[in-house]
Structure 1
Amino acid sequence: MSDSSEEEVETMKFVFYRDRPEWKDVEPIPQYDGEDPVVSIAYSEEFVDVYNYLRAIMKMEEKSERALELTEDAVRLNPANYTVWQYRRVILKALNKDLKGELAYIERIIKGNMKNYQVWHHRKVLIEWLNDGSQELNFTKKILEEDEKNYHAWQHRQWAIKTFNLYENELEYIDSLLDTDIRNNSAWNQRYFIVNNTTGFTEDVLKREIAYSLNKIRIVTENESAWNYLRGLLLHDKAGLSKNGDVVTFCHDLYASGNRSPFLLALLVDMYDEQVSKEAGDCAVAMEKGVSLCKDLAEKYDTIRCTYWNYMATMIENKLKINEETPGTSAN
C-alpha cells in the first residue's frame, strides 16, 4: 500500500475529538485570527478539530496519555509545528515515558519528513536525554542512502560524532561515499570536519590529504568539490599556495596536458598572485602568466564571472607596479 493510500485510510478512520466521549470534559479553543483577517487559511475540518483541542489542553497544562495521543495527530497534520513538539517533550518528561519507544516513533516521522528542522531537533533532544549516541551513525547512514546530501542528516551526524566521540572509522565511511559519488560535496565537507577534529592538519596529515585530493582530481578534473578541499588544505600550509611542490607540479603538468578546468586555472591564478604579492621568484613573469589566465577565464572558461577575473587581472598588475615602485616591500 502506498504512503498516500495509508494516509487516506488513516484519515477515514479518524474520529473527531469533539465526538470522543473521553474528551467531553474539554472545551475546545478555536484559533483567533483577529476580527477581520486579511487572508483566512482554509484548514481542513480535521485540522481545526485537532488544534482546537490542542490549544485547550495546553492552556490546561494537561500532561496525560490522551494529551500525548493528541500531539501525534497534531504532528501528523503539521510536523513542522515547533510548539507541538515542545509540548510533546514536556509530556514525555512528566509521564516518564520510554524514550526508546519515542526514538522509534521519531525515526518513522523523520523518514517521511527528512528536511524538517523540528523533527531532527526532537531526535537530538531525545539523544541528549538518553546520553546515548550509539544509534546515530547507523540512523543517519540510512537517511543519507536516500538523500546523500541531506543537510539535516549531516548536521545531526556531526553533532553526534563530536558529542559522543564517534570519529573512529568515519574516514572509511567517507571513502565509500566518494567512491560512489566523487562529487559529493557533503562527503568532502565531512572529511575536512573529521580531520580538523581529530589529528588536525599536521605536516604528515597535510601531505596525506593533499595526495588524496590530487588523486581524486586526476579521476575527475572538473570536480569543484575536490578542488575546494585542496584549497582548504593549502590554507594550512605555512609555505603558501605557490610553495607546495606536489601541488605546483601537479597543476603545471595538468595545464601542460591541455586541461583547462576553470578550477585549475583559478588555482594557478592565485599561485601567481601570491608570487607577485610576496615578491617570490620572477614577479614579472608571474604577473604576465596570472593576467593571461585571468583573460582566458573571463573570455572562455568562466565567463559568468568575467567581471571578477578582469578585476583580478588589474589587481595583479597593480601589485607588480607597487613592488617596482617600492623595492623590497611586498604588496598586500
Structure 2
Amino acid sequence: MSDSSSEENEDTTWVFYRDRPEWKDIEPLSQDDGVDVPVVEIAYSEKFKDVYDYFRAVVQQNEQSERALQLTEDAVKLNAANYTVWQYRRNILKSLNKDLWEEMKFAEKMINQNPKNYQVWHHRKVLVEELNDASKELYLTEIMLAQDAKNYHAWQHRQWAIKTYKLFDDELNYVDELLIQDIRNNSAWNQRYFVINNTTGFTKEVIEKETDYTLKKIEIAKENESAWNYLRGILLHDERGLSKNTEVSKFCENLYTSGCHSPFLIAMIVDMCDENVSKKHNDPNFSLERALNLCDDLATKYDIIRKKYWEYFANVLKEKAEGKVSP
C-alpha cells in the first residue's frame, strides 16, 4: 500500500514541471480528446495534467535523457497502469545503459504500492529477463502472498519464474506451509498441481501419495471445495478412473454412511455413478438409480443454489443409460 503521509509531504514540496527552469525548452502537449466534448469529463488534478502534458511532449520528441527518466517515474506514480509510460521508461533505461538492479528496487517499491497492478508486475518480469536472474523473485512473491495469499499477479509471476528458471526444488514445502495456514487456499492447491505436473508428473506412485495427502486434508475440512477439486485433478491421471480407485471410493462411502452430506462428497459419488453408467459397468454401488437419487438430494437439500444444474445432469444420466447421448 502507498504511504499517504509521504505522499502528502511530497505534494507540499512538489514543483510543477511548467515552473522548473530546466524544462523551459519543452512545450507541454495537452491531451487531445477530439472535437466532441466528453459527456463526463475526467477531473484530472493539476499535478496529473502537468506531468502527462510534459510526458506527451517528451515522447513526441523521443527524448532519451535522465530528466525524461525522472518524468516517467512521476508519471507511473500517478498512474501505475499506464503501459505507454512503462514501455517508454524501459526504452530510456536501455538507451542510457542504466543499472537494472537499481530499477529492480524501484519495481519492487511500485509492486508494494500496487500489488494487483498488471503493468508493475510485467515491468518486473522484463527486468528479470534482461538480467537473466530470478534469484529474488520467490522471496518477493512470498512477501506479497503473505499480504494476500490469493494475489493472482503474484502467483502468475511466481509460476513464470519457477518454470522459466527451474526453481521447483522447495516449492512443495512452501505450498504445504500455505495449506497449513489456510487449508481452503485454492491458489495453493493450484500451485501444488502446477509443481507436480511440471516435475515428476502424475505417475502411479505420485497419484497414490497425492491421493493419501488430499484425503487427509479432506478429513480436516470436508466442505473444502478446493481439496475435492484437487482430488478430481489427480484422478484424471489414474487409469483406474474414479470408482475403481478403492481407496477413494471407500473413503467416500465411509464419509457418506457416517452422515456427511457435503455437496462436494455427494457430487464425487455422482461422478462415480456417471462413470459406471457411461462405461456400462454393472456395479450396484454406483448405479443409475443411486445417481438420480443423489442428484435429487443435491437439488432439493444440499446444493439448492445449483438446483437447475443437478436436474439437468440427472436428465443427461438418463439419456446416457438409454444410449441417446454419447458417454
State the TM bucket, normalised to the shorter chain: over 0.9
- CA distance in 1 between partners of 2:102 and 2:321 (Å): 67
- CA distance in 2 between partners of 1:308 and 1:212 (Å): 30
- CA distance in 1 between partners of 2:73 and 2:285 (Å): 70
1:35 aligns with 2:30: no
- CA distance in 2 between partners of 1:285 and 1:87 (Å): 62
Q: How does 1:86-235 map to 2 (within 5 A)?
A: 86-235=87-236
Structure 1 residue runs without a partner (length 5+):
324-329
- CA distance in 2 between partners of 1:206 and 1:17 (Å): 62
Q: How far is the alpha carbon of 1:283 from its aligned partner? A: 6.0
- CA distance in 2 between partners of 1:264 and 1:123 (Å): 42
Instruction: Sort the Cα spacing of 1:282 and 1:11 in 2 relative to 1 into closer, same or farther, 3 A.
Output: same
Q: How far is the alpha carbon of 1:281 from its aligned partner? A: 2.3
Output one character per residue of 1:120-148: Cα deviation in whole Å (capped at 9) or x when no partner. Answer: 00000000000000000011000000010
Give the aligned residue type for 1:158. Answer: Q
Asked if structure 2 preserves the Cα contact closer than 8 Å seen for 1:28 and 1:55, the reply is: yes
TM-score (norm: length of structure 1): 0.95
Asked if structure 2 preserves the Cα contact closer than 8 Å seen for 1:192 and 1:229, the reply is: yes
Output one character per residue of 1:162-211: Cα deviation in whole Å (capped at 9) or x when no partner. Answer: 01000001000000000000000000000000000000000000010111
Asked if structure 2 preserves the Cα contact closer than 8 Å seen for 1:276 and 1:283, the reply is: no
Q: How far is the alpha carbon of 1:12 from its aligned partner? A: 1.3
Give the aligned residue type for 2:55. Answer: L
- CA distance in 2 between partners of 1:186 and 1:300 (Å): 29
Q: CA RMSD in A?
A: 1.5
Asked if structure 2 preserves the Cα contact closer than 8 Å seen for 1:284 and 1:320, the reply is: no
Aligned residue for 1:35, secondary structure, equals: coil
Give the aligned partner of residue 326 of structure 1.
none
Structure 2 residue runs without a partner (length 5+):
none
Output one character per residue of 1:219-267: Cα deviation in whole Å (capped at 9) or x when no partner. Answer: 0000000000000011111111111010001000000110000000000
Give the aligned residue type for 1:228. Answer: N
- CA distance in 2 between partners of 1:316 and 1:31 (Å): 60
Q: How far is the alpha carbon of 1:284 from its aligned partner? A: 9.4
TM-score (norm: length of structure 2): 0.97
- CA distance in 2 between partners of 1:85 and 1:322 (Å): 58
Aligned residue for 1:242, secondary structure, equals: coil
Give the aligned partner of residue 49 of structure 1.
50
- CA distance in 1 between partners of 2:269 and 2:148 (Å): 34
- CA distance in 2 between partners of 1:276 and 1:251 (Å): 18
Output one character per residue of 1:261-289: Cα deviation in whole Å (capped at 9) or x when no partner. Answer: 00000000010111111111246961111
Q: How far is the alpha carbon of 1:317 from its aligned partner? A: 2.5
Give the aligned residue type for 2:7. Answer: E
Of residues 280-289 and 198-207 in structure 1, the stretch that sits farther from structure 2 once superposed is 280-289
